[in-house]
């Protein structure tokens, strides 16, 4: 990373110390993000006060990048995974009875606003209108949460929102223009062979070089077939590939490790056979 960005990050952390009650949410991510250009883009945008939207296909490192950004900025992390039942109360909070009175039990968005955290909005293109509407005043120049029956919650100056989205997943939809306009959008490129190799070496440091190369080649082969429409994106599973490599390192036969971690996730018999054929070219 550029030296000027490193200096500004240190200044940011010095300007906005984290409250003691939120320090347990500041944690070093288990995996380092690999991709300096994208990292610098994201850091620059966040330093300028922007919220960012990370968009791209599977296994492009969106969540890894989000966790690494929070660590670099020294901020507590609050996570929201959007699904069909996520509504405004999930984000902001719900009424609870405490100390003889009704109080707001704060949700992740409200907590990020209070403590100056980084709130990761995962799969934001699965959000319902009710949940999206809540985010409008939070993400624009107003930077506040208006909770009916309570006082407005202003956003801490260090608070940022990092949204992620995948293309073409079941249940996803197009984001409305008003929401997209509130983000700086970063398109996440597909990992190259060298990036995959470095990632696997960092996650499974005791993995044999030959098996790491096999996993890298297999992942790229499967991704190419998915891009060409020959198979679905189900077997293009980086988490599964990491799991398979760990199982191999622990003594499981490579073809069995790949089967339980990758191949068996194909429930269509035709696709299963196609993936099995690709696996056999790398792990006979």
pLDDT tens digits along 59-98: 788 988 999 999 999 999 999 888 777 777 777 777 676 6
Q: Which one is predicted more confidently, 100 or 88?
A: 88
Last residue of a domain, one of 135, 160, 187: 187
Pairing type for strands 184-187 and 160-165 reads unpaired
Cα 150 from Cα 205, distance rounded (Å): 51
pLDDT of residue 98: 65
Pairing type for strands 153-154 and 144-145 reads antiparallel
Last residue of a domain, one of 138, 169, 187: 187
The count of other CB atoms within 10 Å of the CB of residue 246 is 17
Which residues share a beta bridge with 161? 119
How large is the angle between the packed helices 254-261 and 209-227, nearest 10 degrees?
40
Query: In this structure, are 171 and 234 located in the same domain?
Result: no
Query: In this structure, are 202 and 94 located in the same domain?
Result: no
Average pLDDT, integer, range 199-209: 84
Which residues share a beta bridge with 77? 118
Residue 43 CB burial class (10 angstroms; 0-12, 13-18, ≥19): buried
pTM: 0.83
Residue whose structure tokens are 């409305």? 176
Query: In this structure, are 130 and 201 located in the same domain?
Result: no
pLDDT confidence bin for 7, thresholds 50/70/90: very high
Q: Is residue 50 a contact partner of residue 185, using CB atoms and an 8 Å limit?
A: no
170, pLDDT greater than 60: no
Query: In this structure, are 157 and 207 located in the same domain?
Result: no
Whose CA is closest to 104, among 117, 116, 91, 115?
Answer: 91
Average pLDDT, integer, range 248-259: 90
Residue 178, token pair as written in the block: 């008003």
Cα 184 from Cα 49, distance rounded (Å): 10
Query: Domain range spanning residue 101?
Result: 3-187
Residue 164, token pair as written in the block: 């992620």
Supply the CATH number for residue 97's domain: 3.40.50.300
Query: In this structure, are 151 and 46 located in the same domain?
Result: yes
Helix (H, G, I), strand (E, B) or coil at 187: strand
């Amino acid at each position: 990373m550029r030296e000027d960005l490193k200096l500004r990050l240190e200044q940011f952390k010095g300007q906005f110390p984290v409250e003691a009650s939120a320090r347990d949410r500041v944690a070093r991510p288990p995996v380092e993000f690999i991709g300096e250009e994208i990292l610098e883009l994201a850091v620059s945008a966040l330093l300028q006060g922007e919220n960012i939207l990370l968009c791209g296909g599977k296994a492009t490192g969106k969540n890894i990048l989000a966790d690494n950004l929070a660590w670099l900025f020294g901020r507590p992390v609050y996570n929201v995974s959007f699904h069909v039942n996520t509504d405004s109360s999930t984000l902001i909070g719900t009424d609870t009875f405490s100390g003889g009175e009704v109080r707001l039990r704060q949700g992740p968005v409200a907590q990020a606003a209070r403590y100056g955290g980084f709130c990761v909005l995962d799969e934001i293109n699965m959000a319902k209108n009710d949940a999206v509407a809540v985010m409008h005043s939070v993400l624009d120049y107003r930077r506040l949460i208006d909770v009916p029956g309570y006082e407005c919650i202003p956003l801490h100056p260090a608070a940022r929102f990092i949204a992620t989205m995948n293309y073409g997943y079941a249940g996803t939809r197009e984001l409305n223009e008003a929401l997209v306009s509130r983000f700086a959008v970063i398109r996440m490129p597909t990992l190259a062979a060298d990036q995959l190799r470095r990632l696997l070496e960092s996650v499974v440091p005791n993995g044999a070089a030959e098996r790491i190369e096999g996993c890298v080649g297999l992942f790229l082969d499967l991704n190419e077939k998915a891009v060409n429409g020959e198979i679905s994106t189900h077997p293009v599973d980086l988490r599964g590939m990491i799991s398979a490599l760990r199982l191999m390192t622990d003594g499981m036969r490579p073809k069995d490790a790949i089967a339980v971690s990758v191949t068996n996730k194909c429930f269509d018999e035709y696709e299963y056979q196609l993936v099995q054929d690709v696996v056999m070219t790398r792990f006979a």
